[in-house]
């Protein structure tokens, strides 16, 4: 969950997710929406989103088409909701679930 929230902690990345929310877009089209930074910077933002599984990449010829993974966003929404619904006793379970999914090895 920390990875997800960190990924959303950048305005450009949030905007990218909105751009590909309901359709696929190639990287160049996404980059064109950000005239103030280079295509490389956007490519790296896409890498962050991809590793957080917040977007899906599909290759079609030389293009890479990106689309939002709404399911991961739904998990973020559930996490934020859990501030209201999680009792103090459930706190440990939430923390453990977050730790498990962040891939810690023991």
Partner DNA sequence: TTCTTACGTAAGAATCAACTTACGTATTGT
Partner DNA sequence: ACAATACGTAAGTTGATTCTTACGTAAGAA
User: What six digits make up the tokens of 46?
Assistant: 């896409």
Partners of 64 in the beta sheet?
Answer: 59
DSSP code of residue 23 = S
The CA-CA-CA angle for residues 40, 3, 8, to 5°, reads: 65
Could you tell me the sign of the dihedral formed by the alpha carbons of 49, 54, 59, 60, in that order?
negative
Residue 98 interacting partner from DNA, a second copy, none (CB closer than 5 to 8 Å by kind): a second copy
CB of 19 to a second copy, least distance (A): 8
User: What six digits make up the tokens of 20?
Assistant: 């590909």
Among 44, 70, 86, 102, binds DNA (CB under 7 A): 44
Contact between residue 60 and residue 16 where contact means Cβ atoms under 8 Å apart: no
Among 37, 44, 91, 101, binds a second copy (CB under 8 A): 91
**Residue 40 touches a second copy, criterion: CB under 8 A:** no
Interacting residues toward DNA by CB under 7 A: 6, 9-10, 12, 26-29, 36-41, 43-48, 57, 61-65
Residues that bind a second copy (CB under 8 A): 1-2, 5-6, 8-11, 14-15, 17-18, 21-23, 28-29, 32, 68, 70, 73, 76-77, 80-81, 83-84, 86, 88-89, 91-95, 98, 106
């Amino acid at each position: 969950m920390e990875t997800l929230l960190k990924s959303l902690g950048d305005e450009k990345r949030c905007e990218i997710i909105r751009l590909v929310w309901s359709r696929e877009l190639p990287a160049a089209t996404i980059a064109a929406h950000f005239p103030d930074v280079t295509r490389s910077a956007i490519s790296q933002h896409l890498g962050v989103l991809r590793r957080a599984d917040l977007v899906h990449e599909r290759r079609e010829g030389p293009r890479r088409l990106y689309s939002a993974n709404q399911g991961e966003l739904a998990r973020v929404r559930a996490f934020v909701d859990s501030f209201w619904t999680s009792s103090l006793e459930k706190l440990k379970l939430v923390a453990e679930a977050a730790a498990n999914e962040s891939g810690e090895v023991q």
